[in-house]
Homo-oligomer: A and B are copies of this chain.
Amino acid sequence: MKIGRQDQHGSSISTSNEDTILVRGRDLVRELVGTLSFTEHFWLLVTGELPSAAQRRVLDATLVAIAEHGLVPSVQAARMTLAAAPEALQGAVAAGLLGCGSVVLGSAEAAGAFLAQIQARAGAGGDLESAVETLVREYRATRRAIPGYGHPLHRGADPRARRLLELAAEAGTAARHVEIAQLVERRLPGLLGRPLPLNVSGAIPAVLLDAGYPLAGLKGVPLLARTAGLVAHLVEEQQRAIGFVMSRAAAQAIDYDGPAPADFEPSEDA
């Protein structure tokens, strides 16, 4: 059946014949394999253009920064899934990526939209200070978290965020979005009554948007990066399995508080 009003029937990413595969108009085998790094190829795939050296450097830095942070929930979900279903590594990676949501990891996209909105409201040469203030107040009024600020472990400052801004300065790409990200960080203590330092999910859109990477592709960055970390964890899980050990500890941290017959004694391991 015809769902929705889609009337496009074109795609401009890739086509092929028996001898040649075109990707973004370039001959994959003759021009790209062996020439481009994977990061350059990702930029080409998403934007249709080859990145400059500075763009590649910034994108590499964000992917490296966000790929791995230990046994976070999505890694645990992936390792438990592989322990239960070792026949399908792709299922374990998928289970891990499903946890790249609006609360964890996926907030890079929300933070990018936040920064872009400030930029749009201030306009060219406009008043960033008041645009920041207005938007933070709107988020507060609707009880939305300020995306890209604060971290449960790195409370004083997220060292990855610091490094990414530094790198963007070195690469010469830092511009308006980095400026906004830093301005918000300076203003938040006054607006919220407590400091809330820029985190890696706030720094990623700041440096990438300044480098010319598109807002619509922002969520792809943590998704791609985290796939690398998940693969590493799943290779380790195949060799030194901890999926069920983690699951047992997790279950023991929770108490059953529903109804039970008077004489029921739960197993320590239930």
Contacts and interface: CB of A to CB of B under 8 A. Distances in A.
Given A17-B265, A243-B73, A103 B90 contact: no
B241 A8 contact: yes
A68 B14 CA distance: 7
Contacts of A80: 73-74, 76-77, 99
B253 A65 contact: no
A120 interface: no
Contact of A224 (B37, B64, B228, B244): B228
Q: How many monomers of this chain does the complex have?
A: 4
Contact of A65 (B13, B18, B33, B216): B33
Given A64-B33, A152-B1, A101 B74 contact: no
A15 to B, nearest CB: 4
Contact of A159 (B19, B153, B248): B19
Interface in A67-126: 67-74, 76-77, 80-81, 83-95, 97-106, 109
Interface string A235-263: 11011111111111111111111111100
Query: For this complex, into which size category does the number of interface residues on chain A fall?
Result: 35 or more
A192 B230 CA distance: 38
A163 B103 contact: no
B14 A70 contact: yes
Contacts of A135: none
A77 B244 CA distance: 12
22 contacts: A1-B72, A6-B245, A8-B241, A11-B256, A11-B257, A14-B258, A21-B160, A24-B258, A33-B167, A81-B98, A85-B104, A89-B219, A90-B97, A91-B94, A91-B98, A92-B98, A94-B98, A216-B238, A220-B228, A246-B253, A246-B254, A250-B250
A76 B65 CA distance: 27
Interface stretch (A38-46, A136-144, A176-184): A38-46
B245 A247 contact: no
Contacts of A242: 6, 8-11, 254
Contacts of A153: 1-2, 16-18, 267, 269-270
A218 to B, nearest CB: 10
